[in-house]
Structure 1
Amino acid sequence: MKLRESERDCHVNIPPFKLIDLFAGAGGLTLGFTTIGNNSFQPIWANDCNKDAVATYRRNFGSHCVLGDILEVFKDSDLRMPEADVVIGGPPCQGFSLLNKNRNSDSRKQLWKPFFEGIERANAKIFVLENVPQLFGSEEYEQIIRIAKKLGYKLACSKLCAADYGVPQVRWRGFIIGSRFADPKTVFPPKKTHYNPDQGALLGGLNGDNGYIANPKPWRTVRDAIADLPAPESTEIGEIPPLNLQFGRNPTPLSLARYQAIPQEGMNRFDLQRIAPELTPPCWIRKKSGGTDLFGRLWWDKPSVTIRTEFFKPEKGRYLHPEQHRPLTHREAARLQSFPDNFQFCGSKSEIAKQIGNAVPPLLAAKIAECVYALLLAGETPC
């Protein structure tokens, strides 16, 4: 939801709304919330258990991010968690992910409980909980709804595709927004700003009546995001953005031969098996179906697939560059996640990759933030 100038002008004297980010990671959600309006949100407290993610958060947003397991942090009798208008966060999603074969017994599925403890401690007017869409079909989702309503929150829930909001990536996420004073369904989900050009003709006109803003744009593509970047020349983290993260790897001769065997956009492991069976791992030959993105090349003129934490390993997904014989670099993955080049990441190569892959795309987060801001303004007394 985009605010009209008259709405902004009517509330010019309202100070920034205070924001807490739990399970903050690198701060993709916080970045989205702090980039809308003119200092509309002020981050005042955050938490994560990963020291490198906390270092990244602190580098970009300030020293208020607390390092530690949230369960242990909340046990600290000396903890003075401030009150805030909004609590946001994404409890670890691996417990619900279809990629997790042990998800039915994964303890991480219960980390929504300390998230709600944080909401109560902060006395938040609004909360935003983010997770994989599979959350919505779980027993935990029903528990979350019951607890939130018991605490007095009105709720709105939706699955959103990041590509529909300007992120050059087809990434689906689930969001639950709770508000103590107004129905969040009046502002959420946000209207889509971009559309799938392959389906545009089927939508019968793109407008507010079918969930789009006026004159939406086509989905942003891999070409839009990374075509201007040169081929990597180093294998180490550099100093000056954007090329500080534009580093490559040292592939084995076998890996390089596999890359070269499938040179066209969209090719994958099945093409490798067809063209060069002698280069194909036996386990892939035995696996006759599924995994069509494994060892796949991206398309220039489509959004990327979901960027996960091991995007630099082509055997994990469709992470080969559209034409160069290599996997994605960290800078390319960060751009496909919609992180700006001036965002500073801390840690080793693998830790930075985790931060990039685990983040909520900041552009998507900004659209959620606009909904929350509109809801908060509606609850203020106009000037």
Structure 2
Amino acid sequence: MTYKLIDLFSGAGGMSLGFVDSRFCGGFKCVLAVDNDKAALETHAANFSGKTVLGNIEHWLAENPNVPKADVVIGGPPCQGFSLLNKNRSGDLRRALWEPYLDIVELSEAKIFVMENVSELYRSDELVQIRQQAERMGFRTDAMVLNAADYGAPQTRKRTVVVGWRNKDVEAPVFPPPRTHASSDLKTDLPAWRTVKEAISDLGEPRGTEIGVGAPLDLHFGRNPTEKSLKRYRAVPPGGNRFDLMRNARHITPACWIRKTSGGTDLFGRLWWDRPSVTIRTEFFKPEKGRYLHPVKHRPITHREAARLMGFPDDFIFKGGKTEIAKQIGNAVPPNLAGAIAAMVKASLDGDVSKKSAKIPWRLEAPIGETVSA
């Protein structure tokens, strides 16, 4: 059976990919995606079926749209809606964006919803409100902070995941999904976290400075650094950061970094070959924003490398310009994590929880670095 899926605040569709693509989970079909980012929604439309709605979700709901029926609603309301992260909302009469999300859960008659967001949501007052509202709608809920590296993504990205289910309609899901990978520091039989080397070491030198044609090199382009930037890159040793730059080349270290003697250990840092990536954010192409220098090359990581570190297979189609695509990659849910959640949801909808069918299939190893023929 194929279940119907609605993806809200969908972005490029990293979460949809985990649900829809059989390399991650499969068994779902996206019938609606809503987002206010035009390029991201074009990316979603290029990879998935179903209707797309571009615009503000509140304005769209105010038009009394015909919300399609669905089995599952997924999505991550932007973190600006959470009081813990935006403390200046006093007097702001706008609804938090999780509210229209739950309105669509109700209108679609979904049996299960999955909401994800930054890890800080877990200890916020707003999470209490979300769960209370879901309970009033007839849902039981559970929430936890999950690490994408535990589910096969070559990236340590922690996200709060909230799962709600209508207890009268479906079997309670096994939450969290069983891990498929673990830190090598732990004593476990699980495979070790996947590393940067596994994800990107087969890629050669970047090709040009613009988006090209044909995966994977279409997004494997470089930049035009100044000579000063190149000298800075060369001053950072394997695993190093801005403090190494300051020690090795103080004369070309930004003054603001010299004045700031603590914190920011990832700024201008190199990724490690033998570890997962740090969290990939929207400006990964700027090493001054984080640990985004290649492990051994004197350059930042490319868009293709960032996409692989997020867990996107090479045949995923991105639309838009360089900055727009970077934003889509940095804002995405790692498909491996989404696939683990999807398998859990599918087991609940199938009534198969007791058979532990939520265990993640080992074919999740395939997508990174593999371009699949159509």
The two structures have a TM-score, normalised by structure 2, of 0.89
Distance 1:371 1:38, change over 3 A: closer
SS in 2 for 1:121: helix
1:214-239 deviation line (CA, Å, top 9, x unaligned): x4211100000000001113000001
* 1:252–1:92 CA distance, 2 compared to 1 (3 A): same
The answer (yes or no) to whether the contact 2:173–2:347 under 8 Å persists in 1 is: no
Q: 1:276 offset after TM fit, Å?
A: 0.8
Matched with 2:337 is 364
Which is worse superposed, 177-186 or 272-281? 177-186
Q: What's the CA shift string for 1:354-374, capped at 9, x where partnerless?
A: 000000000110000000001
- When the two chains are superposed, the root-mean-square deviation of aligned CA atoms in Å is 2.0
AA aligned opposite 1:245: L
- Which of residues 253, 258, 263 in structure 1 aligns to 2:232? 258
Change (3 A) 1:94 1:230: farther
Secondary structure in 2 aligned to 1:258?
A: helix
Return the offset for 1:110. 1.3
**Match runs of 1:168-179 below 5 Å:** 168-179=154-165
2:366 equivalent in structure 1: none
- Specify every segment of 5 or more residues in structure 1 that has no aligned partner in the other structure, as ranges: 1-14, 207-214
Residue 341 of structure 1 is matched in structure 2 by: 314
Query: Mapping of 1:46-57 within 5 angstroms?
Result: 46-57=33-44
For each residue in 1:199-227, what CA deviation from the matched residue of structure 2 results, as whole angstroms up to 9, or x when unmatched? Answer: 223xxxx3xxxxxxxx4211100000000
Aligned residue number for residue 121 of structure 1: 107
Q: Is the Cα–Cα contact under 8 Å of residues 112 and 166 in structure 2 kept in the other structure?
A: yes
Corresponding letter in the other structure for 1:283: C
Q: Deviations over 1:86-117 (max 9, x none)?
A: 0000111255599x6xx212579811111111
Partners of 2:171 and 2:266 in 1: CA distance: 37
Q: What one-letter code is carried by the residue in structure 2 that aligns with 1:233?
A: R
Alignment partners' CA distance in 2, 1:333 and 1:306: 10
Contact 1:181 1:379 in 2 (8 A): no
CA 286–95 in structure 1, closer or farther in 2 if over 3 Å, else same:
farther
Residue in structure 1 matched with residue 87 of structure 2 by the alignment: 104
TM superposition shift of 1:246: 0.1
Name the structure 2 match of 1:228: 202
Report if the CA contact (8 A) 1:167-1:338 is conserved: yes
Q: Deviation per CA, 1:271-291, whole angstroms, max 9, x where unpaired?
A: 111111101101001111110
Residue in structure 2 matched with residue 140 of structure 1 by the alignment = 126
Structure 1 residue matching 2:104: 3-state secondary structure: helix
Alignment partner, residue 162 of structure 1: 148
Residue 135 to residue 39, structure 1, CA distance change in 2 (3 Å):
closer
1:209 is matched with none
Deviation at 1:35, TM superposition (A): 2.0
Which residue type is aligned with residue 32 of structure 1? G
Q: If the length of structure 1 is used for normalisation, what is the TM-score?
A: 0.87
In structure 2, what is the equivalent of residue 311 of structure 1?
284
> Given residue 314 of structure 1, which amino acid in structure 2 is its aligned partner?
P
Label 1:27 to 1:167 Cα distance change in 2 as closer, same or farther (>3 A).
same
CA distance in 2 between counterparts of 1:96 and 1:231 reads 41
Question: Residue 93 of structure 1 contacts residue 109 of structure 1 at CA under 8 Å; is this kept in 2?
Answer: no
Q: Give the total of aligned pairs.
A: 349
Aligned pairs (5 A) from 1:1-383: 15-36=1-22, 39-62=26-49, 64-77=51-64, 79-96=65-82, 103-105=86-88, 110-181=96-167, 186-197=173-184, 199-201=185-187, 206=188, 215-262=189-236, 264-378=237-351
Compared with structure 1, are the counterparts of its residues 185 and 317 closer, same or farther at alpha carbon in structure 2 (3 Å cutoff)?
A: farther
SS at match of 2:180: strand
1:130-171 alpha-carbon deviations (Å, 9 max, x no partner) = 001101111211110110111110111111101111100010
The CA distance in 2 between the partners of 1:311 and 1:84, in whole Å, is 35
Q: Report if aligned partners of 1:337, 1:361 keep a CA contact under 8 Å in 2.
A: yes
**In structure 1, what is the equivalent of residue 371 of structure 2?**
none
List per-residue Cα deviations over 1:292-317 (Å, max 9, x = no partner).
Answer: 00000011111010000000000000
